[in-house]
């Protein structure tokens, strides 16, 4: 699930927490999109 708030829309980094994990990490939008596209290509998601 992806939740996008006002801060993310304004251009800040994304705070990402993967399902089943407690830790969060800051990720730039471009890096997040690249990671998701790669996981889709590898059929991980």
Position 6 scores a pLDDT of 86
Half-sphere exposure of 33 (CA within 13 A, CB side): 4
Q: What is the pLDDT of residues 5-45, one digit of tens each?
A: 888 888 889 989 988 999 999 999 999 999 999 999 998 76
Give the pLDDT score at 45.
67
């Amino acid at each position: 699930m992806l939740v996008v708030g006002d801060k993310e829309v304004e251009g800040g980094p994304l705070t990402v927490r993967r399902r089943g994990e407690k830790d969060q990490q800051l990720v730039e939008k471009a890096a997040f999109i690249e990671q998701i596209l790669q996981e889709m290509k590898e059929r991980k998601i």
